Structure 1
């Protein structure tokens, strides 16, 4: 174990078998094997076998700095796979590490060749410039991905589509205060929130109905109907309180009451006014397309 890591060692697997994907190499490490590495990357995914603070046996230098203090990436070269995409995925993963750790890729990313006393020809395919990706071009790919990351907000590193958040309108009922450790449910239409740029972002997957644990609570500048945002542990993303089902657990939906359907008042929406939040009759109000009723104590 050594958490004093100072870079990445880049490898190619050397295995051209069509089955030699990232998953196959991860499976290999689940058994007793004479070598070990942290990440394996192919054209579809990257799989981590060991945490970063584990010293793996990959750089041919015994207890030298390669094995003891660098994170090993194995890039797959399996026949039938998309080699260029696999190398781009490995470059993206390298860029994420450099971005998060503030590493200079030209100093912190090395080849297996650099540590091996016998100057092992690895990563062989990159060193040979396979499909036009030389070592210099590979490093430039990493730099380009780092620049992409730096061009986004730290709360939106994936560059998700953003939406302007409307000015604050106080809800007719207060939201319930939630705390770190609470399990919550994301409501339909829920978006991630960027407290730095004060915009919302469309999730890359449908998160409606998904549950997650609150990791952090943040008081934010009042926006939309919210004054609080929650960091969800399983998504590592912030979300406004108005998109959390449990924040409205004290609210009563009209369809959940005993009010006769015939007695309900249809909402009248002014198409020329951009409003999500409007009253329909005394004691009822809409929020995010849901009709609620204020119950008297």
Structure 2
């Protein structure tokens, strides 16, 4: 065996950093069970990414006096490790010889096998006992920050593949994809978008694993991020080594409250349509996460009851051959892993024993500031090499026999409303339409009252409110709308309530303006035999109204009014909250 190969084997053995002190039972389906908080990673509390292992030296650092009598139960493994590192004995000489390539090939391979003996990041449901593996904690995985930019079916696309080395995040198992699995992040926190989920996953891959969880793509209303190659598996389906994990591409749809969920859905359809063609996957192999593990995910999509329509939309993009539109451009981006990230899980440390040391910094060489008691709970502020920061100058070392870590713990000090309409001026209108089955929320307590309504969506609201009969009149661009909206469009068109923009075009996905809302409601009321009077309008911007008669009639019926400052704002767009108010006032005028 030549010297070069020996050095490579030893470099590999010294770089096997497996976070055995972290429980491996958590699966991808658990990572987003509740709204998460930000995890502050303190400045300077992570090693340098991109460490070159060929320069890693097994040198004896300056000695620090350790008081062994002070070492608590959860720190004993650290004591042995510390003594081993500072012992200039034959064992250390063996390690130094190994660095020089002097260890036998059989022994090197045996060392690698032993390092993997107790490691299982698959969540395969086995009942064998897993024990943490003691190992050096200072080595970081090599990392690159090169991203590739382009567009996929018109959506900005970023390929940022996490580096190999951490099997909990990138197991690097070869995969021929046979399925596409759809997830939702379940993280409604502002800023929990595709980019921040990409940063979170990158940190997990390079700086320490909190979860055995990874997926291939995250999609939000603005862009698509890729994290894993599509010919490698991730841990996202919660079925161990089943087909969900080992044969499916995982797509997470962001549900952050400062994003547009419907646009994120549309972008996910574009991505999945592209993947159907690229991987040769049929529409019948597009699965919900729920189909693999039983978890209600994607939650909002399931709650809407429109999975079939979602899959139809994916098929439509596959039929038009959605592609990556431009060659991907390489770009080296700087990434600060210590910055706050809404996609980070919030964590709670629970003490399961007495006499647990709380030290002034991360390491047994630092002084003990106090003892933690059994049952104590702490919010985790930072993580460093197996140490958890629980206060200012207070650190506790993690050992699963004495310490438990809870993930995604909601912030107790902030009492958030159970939904996003309570207390809003639109609350009464929305609740009334919801009780009548005319207007639905978007799941998870999200109604999105400030999101703009499209022309197609408002047509469906009119159709639902008037219970219009079936119709066959359509438009040449109806397929641009979500399939769930087609029926409402056809019913309104057949009833003469909508005519489109001419030449058979309806423009279904454009936000509807306040004037267009007035025209539709005016026609809907006249369809029901209700016609208002042509009264004078008091609005200072009435000269901007193209179809004044519709607004005049509705103003006489008290269906429309201004937006303040005596203005009507005919060209302004209507939100879901405003649309609910329009429909309720229309229904009220029909009862008079």
TM (normalized to structure 1)?
Answer: 0.47
Larger Rg: 2
Q: Which has the higher strand share?
A: 1
TM (normalized to structure 2)?
Answer: 0.24
Q: Which has the higher helix share?
A: 2
Higher relative contact order (CA 8 A, sep 6+): 2
